[in-house]
Chain A
Amino acid sequence: MTNVLVCIKRVPDAAGEVTLTADAQAVDARFVGFTISAHENCAVELAVRIASQEGSGTATGGTATVLTLGTDDAVEQLRTALGLGCSAAVLIEADPAGYGPADVAREIAAVVERGAYDLVLLGNDAADTGDFQVGIRLAHALGRPVVNGASTVEVSQEEGTADTAIARVAGPDGVETYQVPMPAVVTVLEGGVEPRYPTISGRMKAKKVKIETVAPQREPSGSGRVRLLLPPAQPSAVEVLGEGPDAAKAVVDLLEKLGVAR
């Protein structure tokens, strides 16, 4: 039995040219919509695998609960995660704009302390704010170990010993294996697992789950954001070497000039 809490964030699904809202405080997501950060999609996948009853060798049985801090709009992302196989959802209802990483970690910690979560999974960093620290701050607040940037997470359950989380991280010298006693916090990096898409039956089930809404513990201290700005567009200075295969000679001339063709 492993009860997993997976923390996600509703973020703009920025893909093409990004535009900002008029007050320069946020990305304008009108045309692209919102999504769950790619790293967190993998975290959800791992959470569902660990908690699933059937599944592969990693399955221990248990529950996967999804959590986010956001407004009512973020229910959309919670439902998505429920459709992927999470069985419960918690919304810390607050405007995330005013919440810095320390605020978010504190609010998540309050939820974790109330529940009996053996493992908390987060994304390595959010696709919008890219703070790279909520998981660590959360672990610190909970007094739990944390592994960052895991590609995969498995739970090892052996008779007579405490359950441990085994996380694999792509390090500079190879794949590092961490084994930490649970309860633990792990942040997940995209690439180790292929996140599933929702199924129709999953989506239908998700619709019926009642989402637990909790109020934040206290006023946030803030994110320190002053404003957003777009880097100035660089005028194109591209030199077109030619069209089609006839340009091959020019390409090789250039590669030789740059000293990489020989």
Chain B
Amino acid sequence: MILVFVETDATGATEVSRETVTFARTLAERSDGPLHAVIVGDRPAGVLDQLGGYGVSEIHHATGDGVAAYGGAAWAAAVQAAVSATDADVVLAPGTPRGMEVAAHLATRVDVPMAANVVGVSDGTGADGAPLRVARQVVGGSVLEEMVLPERPAVLTVAGHAVVDEPGAPATAALREFSPEIAEADLVARVVSIEAAEADLSSAALTSARVVVGAGRGAGSADGFDAAAELAELLGGALGVSRVVTSLGWRPHHEQIGQTGSRISPDVYIPCGISGAIQHWAGCASSKTIVAINTDENAPMVTKANYAVIGDMHEVVPAVNAEIKRRRG
């Protein structure tokens, strides 16, 4: 029995949740067991069909006052109730901030280890009584760790963008609603207010953009980002930067891509003057197509890119902008 904690938004399961469900389905197929999902709080319309299409046979939906708003401990208590109800062998959560938090609370509550940022299962199914052996990302994604989860249920989170989001045959999942008891102690840490962040203070634009233009040390100074920002605007995308740029105070932190910044997975990523240190790569490796602009043809960013232009970003980017504007007339 495989249980997945699924994060949702108004449109249904989030992208990393869908990836996680895809990953969990493989595991369920290996153990020849059922795949269930648990969602907490709001249930978006169509989610039964959506997850059913990923092979989820049953959705456990936790409702009630205690879990209406997000709280790590409270939501973990809800998931824990579903784990008890289903006697799950493996519990998976998306490798997002909330997925991590819920999984960690859960593992703590049931007193088992948790593996974060798993990218593969090398041994076991979780259901066969043998320890589950997983591979997970450590050191900002530049190293893999083989780790054993000897206890049941095995709790793990699946690294974002490490698995391809792949629906299966259309189907509809069954729904089981339940109202877990939430202890007062689990409600202490809760959000008291949310300020809808101004667009330019949030990383949401960056993580959701189809096109990201990156700029690194090659920008040269705080004034060196105009052309890159213009290109992002011309392409309807967002500007992202490397860690050194925020460390130098040239750009705000919410624009940072990387291990300690945002992880992005746009259709096209255009890193300009970014050498491609591992911390940065950890945040952009899931981009579908990378077009690097760099003076150094041996920079890791260039060798890892799909396409590259060898040249100074201060010359190349304005020329690209001009060409786009010329074609648009």
CA of A185 to CA of B113 in the docked complex: distance in angstroms? 20
Taking a contact as CB atoms closer than 8 A, the residue among A143, A147, A231 that contacts B189 in the complex is: A147
Least CB distance from B92 to A in Å reads 14
CA of A240 to CA of B256 in the docked complex: distance in angstroms? 26
If the complex has contacts A132-B157, A260-B210, are A137 and B104 also in contact, measured as CB distance less than 8 A? Answer: yes
Q: Inside 8 A of B310's CB, which chain A residues have their CB?
A: 240, 242-244
B90 lies within 8 A of chain A by Cβ: no
A38–B316 CB distance below 8 A: no
CA of A38 to CA of B139 in the docked complex: distance in angstroms? 12
Q: Inside 8 A of A259's CB, which chain B residues have their CB?
A: 267
- How many B residues are at the interface, by size bracket? 35 or more
B261 lies within 8 A of chain A by Cβ: yes
Q: Inside 8 A of B36's CB, which chain A residues have their CB?
A: none
A130–B137 CB distance below 8 A: yes
Q: Which of A129-151 contact B (CB under 8 A)?
A: 129-133, 136-137, 140, 143, 145-149
Least CB distance from B263 to A in Å reads 13
- How many A residues are at the interface, by size bracket? 35 or more
Least CB distance from B84 to A in Å reads 18
Q: Inside 8 A of B146's CB, which chain A residues have their CB?
A: 225-229
Identity of the chain A residue whose Cβ is nearest the Cβ of B327 in the assembled complex:
A252
B303 lies within 8 A of chain A by Cβ: yes
A209 lies within 8 A of chain B by Cβ: no
A143–B188 CB distance below 8 A: no
B261–A245 CB distance below 8 A: no
B97–A177 CB distance below 8 A: no
Binding stretch for chain A, among B21-29, B48-56, B58-66, B317-325: B317-325
Q: Inside 8 A of B150's CB, which chain A residues have their CB?
A: 224
Q: Inside 8 A of A224's CB, which chain B residues have their CB?
A: 113, 115, 147-150
A130–B304 CB distance below 8 A: no
Chain A interface secondary structure, helix, strand, loop or mixed? mixed
B311–A225 CB distance below 8 A: no
Of B138, B140, B144, most buried by chain A (CB within 10 Å of CB) is B138
If the complex has contacts A227-B146, A258-B268, are A133 and B253 also in contact, measured as CB distance less than 8 A? Answer: no
Q: Inside 8 A of A22's CB, which chain B residues have their CB?
A: none
B192–A133 CB distance below 8 A: no
If the complex has contacts A243-B310, A244-B311, A248-B323, are A14 and B142 also in contact, measured as CB distance less than 8 A? Answer: yes
B12 lies within 8 A of chain A by Cβ: no
If the complex has contacts A181-B188, A223-B147, A226-B133, are A238 and B305 also in contact, measured as CB distance less than 8 A? Answer: yes
B306 lies within 8 A of chain A by Cβ: yes
Binding stretch for chain A, among B163-171, B172-180, B194-202: B194-202
Least CB distance from A165 to B in Å reads 10
Least CB distance from A243 to B in Å reads 5
Report 17 cross-chain contacts, Cβ distance below 8 Å, ordered by A residue: A14-B278, A101-B114, A133-B104, A175-B197, A177-B192, A179-B192, A191-B253, A224-B150, A230-B144, A238-B307, A239-B307, A239-B308, A245-B318, A247-B319, A248-B323, A252-B324, A261-B327
13 further A-B pairs in the complex, CB-CB below 8 A; given A145-B185, A180-B188:
A18-B139, A125-B116, A146-B72, A181-B188, A189-B260, A226-B147, A240-B308, A241-B307, A243-B310, A243-B311, A247-B311, A248-B323, A251-B323
Which residues of B come within 8 Å of A, CB atoms? 9, 70, 72-73, 97-98, 100-101, 103-105, 107-109, 111, 113-117, 133, 135-140, 142-150, 157, 185, 188-197, 201-204, 210-211, 235-237, 249, 253-254, 256, 259-261, 267-268, 277-279, 289, 291-292, 297, 302-312, 315-316, 318-320, 322-324, 327
Which residues of A come within 8 Å of B, CB atoms? 12, 14-18, 20, 27, 38-39, 100-102, 125, 127-133, 136-137, 140, 143, 145-149, 169-181, 184, 189-192, 194, 223-231, 234, 236-252, 254-255, 258-261
